[in-house]
Amino acid sequence: MTLENLNSNKSFGGWHKQYSHPSDSAGCVMRFAIYLPPQVANGQKVPVLYWLSGLTCTDENFMQKAGAHRVAAELGMAIVAPDTSPRGEDVADNESYDLGQGAGFYVNATESPWERHYRMYDYVLNELPALIESVFPVTDQRSIAGHSMGGHGALVLALRNPERYQSVSAFSPISNPVNCPWGRKAFTAYLGRDTARWVDYDASVLMREARQFVPALVDQGDADSFLAEQLHPEALETAAAISGYPLTLNLREGYDHSYYFIASFIEEHLRFHGRYLG
């Protein structure tokens, strides 16, 4: 597979690098960013935290705004941040911010015109880790995290594939997409009108029915303007109580949906994952 290095920046003794590559899953050129901590310079292989971003974001938002590099360098943890969707002139799009490019929702689309490129679930679960582990000095120990739409994606991937991840965390996740406007719009477009097919991508439904567990941490700001209509963390809490899922859910007073919130608590999330990645 051909990787093109787009840029490199030294950060806290390690390196932040951005790459593009042709993707079989997405059928287009995809982009990702990776932070490699200083330990890799000494020949050490390190575990990986995959970060999934939210609506309208790219691979750049988290790497530039979250302030995660310092703690990742201390812990000896690589961070990989893929883009949020396929992109390109021949990739289907929509004029709305919450559908199309920048809004892949981490599903495998089945409906036209989306099914040709919008296979972010397969890309994040299989293609990207296989690429990362074949090219970079990392182990096969993985955790996953994300924000908003990316929090939804991280939870769904971990809940459906508990054998693949050591831990999962999310900031302000879309916790019950089958029951919110963002989720219903995206799922109707990408998956069709048969709502029975939607539940495979609903974290609250999956958590309620879970029999294998991955340690989970969720932070939600109580001043988030999307909280009541779109996010529904209470559905996750109810689901965890039913299945006995090991979920820690923190409601943070005064915090909103922004990267100010993520930057305030990212160290806690990285140390949480560090406990399980070893």
Q: What is the pLDDT of residues 56-110, one digit of tens each?
A: 999 999 999 999 999 999 999 999 999 999 999 999 999 999 999 999 999 999 9
Please give the class, per CATH, of domain 4-277: alpha beta
The structure's pTM equals 0.97
DSSP secondary-structure letter at 115? T
* H-type alpha helices, the chain: 60-65, 69-75, 120-122, 128-135, 149-160, 181-191, 203-208, 233-243, 259-277
Give the single-character DSSP code of 168. Answer: E
Q: Look up 117 and say whether it is catalytic.
A: no
Q: Which of 148, 167, 172, 175 is catalytic?
A: 148
Backbone angles phi, psi at 114, to 5 degrees: -80, -25
16, 257, 269, 273: the active-site residue = 257
269 labelled catalytic: no
pLDDT class of 244 with cuts at 50, 70, 90 = very high
Residue 176 near residue 204 (C-beta atoms within 8 A): yes
pLDDT band, residue 1 (cuts 50/70/90)? low
**Residue of 219, 224, 232, 273 with catalytic role:** 224
Quote the CA–CA distance of 140 and 242 in Å, as a whole number: 31
Say which residues have a Cβ less than 8 Å from residue 15's Cβ, sequence separation at least 6: 8, 9, 35, 36
Spatial contact of 260 and 67, defined as CB atoms under 8 Å apart = no
Kindly report, residue by residue over 198-230, the tens digit of the pLDDT: 999 999 999 999 999 999 999 999 999 999 999
> What distance in Å separates the CA atoms of residue 125 and residue 65, rounded to the nearest whole number?
25
d(CA 181, CA 185): 6
Domain locations along the chain? 4-277
Active site residue 148: yes
The overall average pLDDT reported for the chain is 97
- Over the stretch 129-149, which tens digit does the pLDDT of each residue have? 999 999 999 999 999 999 999
